[in-house]
Amino acid sequence: MKDTLFSAPIEKLGDFTFDESVAEVFPDMIQRSVPGYSNIITAIGMLAARFVTSNSNVYDLGCSRGAGILSIRRNVDKTGVQIIGVDNSQPMVERCRRHLEAFHSAIPVNILCEDIRNVQIQNASMVVLNFTLQFLPPDDRLALLERIYNGLNPNGVLVLSEKFRFDDSHINELLIDLHHTFKRANGYSELEVSQKRTALENVMRTDTIEIHKTRLAQVGFSHTELWFQCFNFGSMIAIK
């Protein structure tokens, strides 16, 4: 399904939410909106092949329709692995469960319709936050990362993908503009780009790469790095 949600003028533009209409078009929306998205999904599979250990749990927090889970499941060859996907949008969770059932796998997957702030994380070899932390209130981010750190086994990995902001306003504006050029090249109109930007203003609070790195170190991660960046989007790894 093609994303045309912001194509007509909207008189009272509310805050962006992950409702039924967004869930319906989500794969098209994220693919056309996030530079590097497919590369990151592929790399999550590669990281899973490397980091997931036997008899451990893998968490995809904010799993949407399960693209990350599928990539993980295709690449894990260990036994006794359980994948737990969490999303608090019921329309996403329904589609995620349906999508995963369409593929056969020996690895059990449990999709929870829950707030990621309330989910227990334990015996984890890998935790994925693929463009999810940016939707949590900034004051809740440290506590979530602490719980992730505590639930990870030694040498466990966190994959943290985010939209970033930059302290240098010249660079910040340039990268935002390049992102808009990317969206225009993917068929979104000026109106779609600007209405979506407004809808996201209150719900997506971006941090700088430095803030992310400092916070990851603060919760205890000994190794952190940005492994991918395209314009103002990127992905980091943190290893316990």
Ligand X SMILES: Nc1ncnc2c1ncn2[C@@H]1O[C@H](C[S@+](CC[C@H]([NH3+])C(=O)[O-])CC(=O)[O-])[C@@H](O)[C@H]1O
Ligand Y SMILES: O=C(O)C(=O)Cc1ccccc1
Identify the helix (H) or strand (E) that includes residue 198.
helix 190-200
Q: Which is nearer to ligand Y, 2 or 74 (CB)?
A: 2
CA distance 87 to 189: 29
Give residues with Cβ within 8 angstroms of 22, minimum separation 6. 5, 16, 29, 91
**Residue with Cβ nearer ligand Y (73 or 163):** 163
55 is in an annotated binding site: no
> Would the CA dihedral through 127, 89, 73, 119 be positive or negative?
positive
Measured at the alpha carbon of residue 65, what is the angle toward residues 7 and 47, in degrees to the nearest 5? Answer: 120
Residue 65 sits in the site that holds ligand Y (CB under 6 A): no
Beta bridge partners of 162: 234
In the bound state with ligand X, the residue whose beta carbon lies nearer, of 137 and 222, is 137
28 among the known binding-site residues? no
Q: Rounded to whole angstroms, how far apart are CA atoms 80 and 78? A: 7
Residue 115 annotated as binding site: yes
Please tell me whether residue 34 binds ligand Y under the rule CB under 6 A. yes
Stretch of 25-33, 50-58, 151-159, 208-216 contacting ligand Y, by CB under 6 A: 25-33
88 is in an annotated binding site: yes
By the rule CB under 6 A, 232 interacts with ligand X: no
What part of residues 186-215 is at the interface with ligand X (CB under 6 A)? none
87 is in an annotated binding site: yes
Subset of residues 9 to 48 that bind ligand X, contact rule: CB under 6 A? 18, 30
What burial class does residue 117 get, using C-beta atoms within 10 Å of its C-beta: 0-12 exposed, 13-18 middle, 19+ buried?
middle
Q: Is residue 126 a contact residue for ligand X (CB under 6 A)?
A: no
Tell whether residue 167 is among the known ligand binding residues. Answer: no
Asked whether position 95 contacts ligand Y by CB under 6 A, the answer is: no
Residue selected from 5, 6, 33, 72 as contacting ligand Y according to rule CB under 6 A: 33
Please tell me whether 130 is known to bind a ligand.
yes
Rounded to the nearest angstrom, the gap between the alpha carbon of residue 78 and the centroid of all alpha carbons in its chain is 24
| Both structure tokens of 30 | 């994220």
By the rule CB under 6 A, 92 interacts with ligand X: yes
196 binds, among ligand X, ligand Y, none (CB under 5 to 8 A by kind): ligand Y
23 contacts ligand Y (rule: CB under 6 A): no
- CA–CA separation, 235 and 227 (whole Å): 6
Least distance between ligand X and beta carbon 113 (Å): 9
For ligand Y, which is the closer residue by CB, 44 or 52?
A: 44
- From residue 204, give the alpha-carbon distance in Å to each of 137, 142, 158, 171, 172: 8, 16, 21, 19, 16
Contact residues for ligand Y, defined by CB under 6 A? 29-30, 33-34, 163, 196, 200
